[in-house]
Structure 1
Amino acid sequence: MKFTRPLAAGLAAAVLSLLSACGGGSGGDDPPAANMGTLGLSLTDAPTCGFDHVNVAIQKIRVHQSATATDSDAGWAELNFSTPKRVDLLTLTNGVLASLGQIPLQAGHYTQMRLVLAANGGSNPLLNSIVPTGGSEVALDTPSAIQSGVKLNVDITIAANQLADFVLDFDACKSVVTAGNSGKYLLKPVVAVTPNFVSGVSGYVDSTVANGATMVSVQQGGVVVKATAPDSTGKFLLQPVAPGSYTLVITAPGRTTDVVTGLTVAASTVTLLNGATSPLSLGVSMSGTAAGTVTTSLTPIDASVRATQSLLSGEKIEVATRGVDATTGAYSMTLPTSAPMVAAYVAPLGALSFAADAGAAAKYGLEASSGLATKTAGPLTLTAGATTTTNFTFP
């Protein structure tokens, strides 16, 4: 994917000199400056599930033109941090980005990125850590495979004398999982690498749901493209989001799900869904629980489960997703049993007319994923105050 901005030759040379001093570059003879471009990287996050802080320590970022290159192959370019860059992911919602730096690269197409995390230990056992809501800080275990580099498939084209600006979108909700009843947490990074589009969506929810438990997302075909949590005023900003047509979904514990279909995002524009004087109020709803276990041959267990609903229009939306417990495979999601409220998008700041999609009330599909495999169940009909158990088994 090509997403570039002009970069003056003098600035490119300065960046190259600075990054080389910091450990950037692939080593050996540098290609001629005329064939060089720059990859700019930032970090952002989706809302998390039940945590006040999620801290990760980034040691380096590596990129390669081959999707199959191994750690020891030649041709890697790197952005190194002499001291691990420790970031609280939960400060990076609502359009907030943390700059990671820039990597000078030979012009060409790059298809692999490795995110290398530093390990806990020594004088800093909480380098990677989490703070559960209402709890104390505990270590976030990073398996050795993560420390050697989380492989990310990318589609990045570097043009000569151009800056390609990309964002690492870290999904903390899917990336942090429990491991049994010991109070141990594991980090299994789920990261998307996307162009840093200016375009996005902004709006407001009512102050009664302006909390960290409310999630606002834009989706396509039931797949979340970008998600965030409203700030304390109820404002939300989903950015960067590519131009296109989306379904906006708002969920909150004990509330109905609000859905806006046909939401249009134009290039270089932040679409204003509604203003502070007309915030979206989610109705109160009873809830049921979808729970069960996922069994795999992997140790630790690496799987996730998501709950979806099919609307009268035939469109599918994701309502919730969870990573399963890495030791037991258990998962649990509390979901509204009232009908989702659906409105068609009309225009920026236009009046939205919501109506209950009665046919979807309390009905959910479940999708369990492990590796490249996915298994489905449903539609299930949940009962308020009760638990519906669904188990999944992978080879």
Structure 2
Amino acid sequence: MRFDIAWEGSWRHEANHDAVWVFFKVRAEGGKEWQHVRLVADKVLNPSGYDQEKGVTTLDFIVPDGKDGFLGMFVRRAEYGVGKVAATKVTAVWDLTANKGITKDTKVSMQAFGIEMVFVPEGPFYLGSGGTEPYHFYKYTDGTQHTLPYRVTSAGAIPTGRQKGKLWARRGAQPEDNGEIPAAFPNGYAAFYCMKFHITQGQYTGFLNTLTAAQAKERGPGNPRLFWADGVAFAAWAGLRPMTELEYEKVCRGPMEPGWDTGDRLDHPSYWEVQRINGWRLPRERPVTVGHAKGRGFKGTHGRGTPALPEDWPQDDAVGAGTRGGYGAAGRPSHRLDAATVDAELTIRHKGSRAFWRGVRTAPKGVGP
């Protein structure tokens, strides 16, 4: 498969980089069903058969592997630099055997999709700002203080509760007392890619246009905003997954000690240059919460290229999901007033107001900044 690619405002430096998540859909001539294209790769970084015509920018190609891998590729700069990326005749390798009813002699229609992403590198970070935001995270000591930030130092399980040294939350949306956030839960320490922008109308239209008529009818017309169910269906279809609320705080604050940013400025990027995620007067995010048992059971599984949701995800009813960020004081990264909200009316109201959606994907090991 060959395609051209270009985007503005790209960068790569020693701390992180941006990239585009590229994936494909195929349909046999005369057929009605669009299928996700599975790729073939002999290694994760720059596998055999992945190349480009010489052009403005030399590129790296990253194909995630594993049980939920080979569903797309990250395209990034091969060298440090900033500015526009442009390349022609980029080549990817299609696993033809993975698609039903399609052989090498079948005439097909094919669509390529691209989503701008930002690499958030592996490393420690803090939960909580040291302030008094509603339901904020903090490190429990002896019950006399409720503001000491908690530092996440590994991808392993995080002990929770009202016991010395454990992660706890002020008054509401609390994790399990004398429990833990399981090691399988994406706690933000491991590297991941986060959508640079929220789902756009054009991207969502592309999603709808590859669904069956019945599937598309459920999600429009007359629905200009996104329910949780709409966002996770898009993520599953694109081979992404929901972000967790711990990853949300890392995206906003970065590895810095609390105090670097309280979200008081208007419409500014995060530490990592993820756009429109912290600050006043911004759309609200819908991450997986640790304030509900269903959320804590999330294992970070990625979608498989269809709207069907993996079993470990919060399902269409949004139980296990919550709301972070938004207008006014809610834009502060540690504000958790609705972190575990699952009320149906609140979910609907957010669709008509300021609830947008973005997904993430766990980064393959060894790709680095």
Q: Fold match, TM over 0.5?
A: no
Q: Which has the higher helix share?
A: 2
For the superposition of Structure 1 and Structure 2, which TM-score range results when normalised by the shorter chain?
Answer: under 0.3
The normalised TM-score by structure 2 is 0.27
Larger Rg, first or second structure (1 or 2): 1
